[in-house]
A and B are shown apart, each in its own frame.
Chain A
């Protein structure tokens, strides 16, 4: 039995210990904001926060989440729109939108450690998150916009 928190709520799990956190969130908890894109930590669609830092939930087995605080896009949204979400709207980042919860979680993680990231910082941090519609230019602009607001 693993015990942990998701969006501030205590949870426990005694199913298949190899099940990735992604599928626990989506299929068991019904938190579908975290997306499935590749299953191999290659695309970032499944990004959530582990104790405030971005991780790929598709490659995080449930037997390793004991004691952790996991935050999903739903958890960020519940606290009222985050500066990153506001900036995303302001810049009109999304096209199809499927990758955007992962992009937003990654950007939240970036800004929490580097409130004023350089272009190189942004590229480094966001390179793991694929957007097939090609919204990268707007993602970069939105991160800078959000950085202004959190300043």
Chain B
């Protein structure tokens, strides 16, 4: 699966490493590990997936590690290099992390699906162990002693104990580069108790630069002679310019010209939306000029899209039989037996990503060569889409990856970088496209709106004997296939095809829905609405049975067993990552214990709620404590979350991700709602699309990380899904009011 090459003095490394550096590349051959949770756009060529991890040692002892994944707060520029440094026995203070450009030599670099550590843990360890062995062999050769007498000790040094001779890694680099690359069988991996960095908390590699205001982000890129562009996009997806009057725009100080951008050809995929660009010599003039445009739009077919009507359609579809996704036993016979039936409907609206840095990119087209600087989760996608739009080859497009001011999935879609390239091509100058916050909110690839229906037959003790659940949402695949109306297997695998509960008869279904806006993936994707429905319903069953929700949930999970998953991605994933309910139960118990569940009486405005969920192969339980006043205003004093993500590379980053997920979840639950009228998005900025602020975010988020020797799983996204139902369940405990339609602000809570 992994091949390691000595790539010292290879041409393509020029500029990154010095001529005398010793450089290894750990390359992964194509595998389907990602398919487990990744909803790959069809444009990605799986056979071109050869992620390469580059590790080099300079003669001065500097260890250079190329980060080919994107940093957006996920901590990959810290966590991944530390895995290499650990097996290499390198001194972390002498490691330099270099950001890799978008390049197929790294393979797909799309940083989403919470798989950076999951997928690169083994290759990175192997790269580190290989380099270490080559350094040891170089030292043994230099001293003329057996290899077995030499070892990397204590750090960044090879030592010959009996003669007390030492050589630093830098001194050994040249000779190490001449060693044949050892086979995997020859490598000695450190045992977990010898790990120096893996599993030990470490602050972010870039924390000092970030706190100094250094120009790290896409928004900060400045190129000589650069022009600035703001684009008036069609208000409705698929809309076109009928006519434009730019006379007032051209009078604005600093405005140079206006340029029409062609509308996309369906499916829209990652193409620009079209519209009219205002080109100016600074951002402000471009924004001001854009306001002066008088455009008459042909809004097209999606102008019939109204959220209120669409909601009714989704709910109607959710009440009708749908397409079976997965079934166990015979739920229909069980329902027909005439016992007690409990049913409920849930609804969750569209969401926008609203990363703090709105989409932006700089492109410089020089003849048939293009250079793009972009905050992107998907640099190879930038190259492919820019090449397609300009009729060039992907090889003609270079993409420099900047830091991302948040991504959450939005910056996997390179439409804004294509806009910059098209405008650079038309002006002959480097162009920076800046989206305003209004552009960002109105022209997002929205998280799907979804309606869910769940029905259970329960026995005398209140335990379900049969469970049927149906979800309906416009699918992500509609972005790539205009006729797509059903959720993909990937979306179904995100918390819907199976449930972790001990129910003998079960069926999951999916109904169809036509998309009228661009649909995309947002941090934890379909898990958000699916976990909201399943975990709210489990709580409803507990109350219907007059049982304590925590005890009931544990009983529902039942004893440890492996849940058969219809879409594991590959047999290897199923084997490496079995869906083990004992691990889910364990995190539930940890969170409940830490929260002192049951100590304080619920009601009179105080409540605790719990939810569990497995996503991105990680098990999470979250307990939310809430205080609600008689006006419905609530605060969240405490969140207790327990996570089993297998081996964790950097617990400090894991903690950050789960603290952040609670805040992200608060935004979703409290006020998260995007709606459309006449096909145009109603919201525009943080005034009408509010997100959690310090004074309404959870005050304290406690994160317990299970010590585990299981293979690493995802951490960036799995904290989000259980938070939302845990909060709604807490609100029920505090007030007796059941929230079946998000957000809470639509239910009298604020």
> Given contacts A73-B213, A74-B213, A92-B656, are A130 and B691 in contact (CB under 8 A)?
yes
Residues of B within 8 A of A35 (CB): 217, 219, 356-357, 405
In chain B, positions 248-290 with a C-beta closer than 8 Å to chain A are: 253-254, 282-285, 287-288
> Given contacts A23-B282, A43-B686, A127-B695, are A134 and B663 in contact (CB under 8 A)?
yes
Interface string of A96-111 (1 = CB under 8 A from B): 1111110010000000
Residues of A within 8 A of B437 (CB): 37-40, 42-43
Residues of A within 8 A of B404 (CB): 96, 98
B341 at interface by CB-CB < 8 Å:
no
State the CA gap A101–B253 with chains docked (Å): 30
- Whether the Cβ atoms of B663 and A97 lie closer than 8 Å is no
- Whether the Cβ atoms of B207 and A131 lie closer than 8 Å is no
B148 at interface by CB-CB < 8 Å:
no
B333 at interface by CB-CB < 8 Å:
no
- Whether the Cβ atoms of A92 and B213 lie closer than 8 Å is no
- Whether the Cβ atoms of B203 and A92 lie closer than 8 Å is yes
State the CA gap A134–B355 with chains docked (Å): 11
CB distance from B547 to the nearest CB of A (A): 33
Which stretch of B126-134, B499-507, B697-705 is in the interface? B697-705
- Whether the Cβ atoms of A85 and B212 lie closer than 8 Å is yes
CB distance from A38 to the nearest CB of B (A): 4
Residues of A within 8 A of B220 (CB): 32
Partner of B288, one of A16, A32, A131: A16
CB distance from A33 to the nearest CB of B (A): 2
Residues of A within 8 A of B685 (CB): 38-40, 42
State the CA gap A57–B63 with chains docked (Å): 41
- Whether the Cβ atoms of A96 and B73 lie closer than 8 Å is yes
Closest A residue, CB atoms, query B219 = A36
B652 at interface by CB-CB < 8 Å:
yes
B228 at interface by CB-CB < 8 Å:
yes
State the CA gap A126–B696 with chains docked (Å): 11
- Whether the Cβ atoms of A16 and B73 lie closer than 8 Å is no
State the CA gap A45–B686 with chains docked (Å): 12
Say which size band chain A's interface belongs to.
35 or more
Interface string of A79-118 (1 = CB under 8 A from B): 0010001001100111111111100100000000000000
A133 at interface by CB-CB < 8 Å:
yes
State the CA gap A36–B358 with chains docked (Å): 8
Partner of B206, one of A30, A97, A133: A97
State the CA gap A12–B5 with chains docked (Å): 57
Residues of A within 8 A of B687 (CB): 40, 42
B204 at interface by CB-CB < 8 Å:
yes
- Whether the Cβ atoms of B222 and A20 lie closer than 8 Å is no
> Given contacts A28-B282, A40-B687, are A97 and B216 in contact (CB under 8 A)?
yes
Interface string of A112-141 (1 = CB under 8 A from B): 000000000011101111111111111110
> Given contacts A133-B406, A138-B659, are A127 and B210 in contact (CB under 8 A)?
no
- Whether the Cβ atoms of B692 and A134 lie closer than 8 Å is yes
B694 at interface by CB-CB < 8 Å:
yes
State the CA gap A124–B694 with chains docked (Å): 9
A148 at interface by CB-CB < 8 Å:
no
B1 at interface by CB-CB < 8 Å:
no
- Whether the Cβ atoms of A134 and B219 lie closer than 8 Å is no
- Whether the Cβ atoms of A72 and B406 lie closer than 8 Å is no
Closest B residue, CB atoms, query A23 = B284
B239 at interface by CB-CB < 8 Å:
no
Closest B residue, CB atoms, query A36 = B219
Residues of B within 8 A of A33 (CB): 212-215
Residues of A within 8 A of B287 (CB): 39
State the CA gap A128–B686 with chains docked (Å): 11
Residues of A within 8 A of B222 (CB): 30, 32
> Given contacts A16-B254, A37-B356, are A104 and B211 in contact (CB under 8 A)?
yes
In chain B, positions 328-383 with a C-beta closer than 8 Å to chain A are: 354-358
State the CA gap A137–B693 with chains docked (Å): 11
B605 at interface by CB-CB < 8 Å:
no
B436 at interface by CB-CB < 8 Å:
yes
- Whether the Cβ atoms of B692 and A98 lie closer than 8 Å is no
- Whether the Cβ atoms of A135 and B210 lie closer than 8 Å is no
A77 at interface by CB-CB < 8 Å:
yes
B643 at interface by CB-CB < 8 Å:
no
- Whether the Cβ atoms of A100 and B686 lie closer than 8 Å is no
- Whether the Cβ atoms of A133 and B211 lie closer than 8 Å is no
Residues of B within 8 A of A72 (CB): 213
CB distance from B243 to the nearest CB of A (A): 28
State the CA gap A132–B278 with chains docked (Å): 29
23 contacts between A and B (CB under 8 A): A23-B282, A27-B284, A37-B437, A38-B437, A40-B686, A43-B356, A43-B437, A89-B207, A92-B656, A95-B75, A96-B357, A100-B210, A122-B694, A123-B694, A126-B694, A128-B693, A132-B355, A132-B406, A132-B691, A134-B661, A134-B697, A136-B694, A137-B659
Which are the 5 A-B pairs with shortest beta-carbon distances? A33-B213, A134-B663, A98-B405, A95-B73, A73-B213
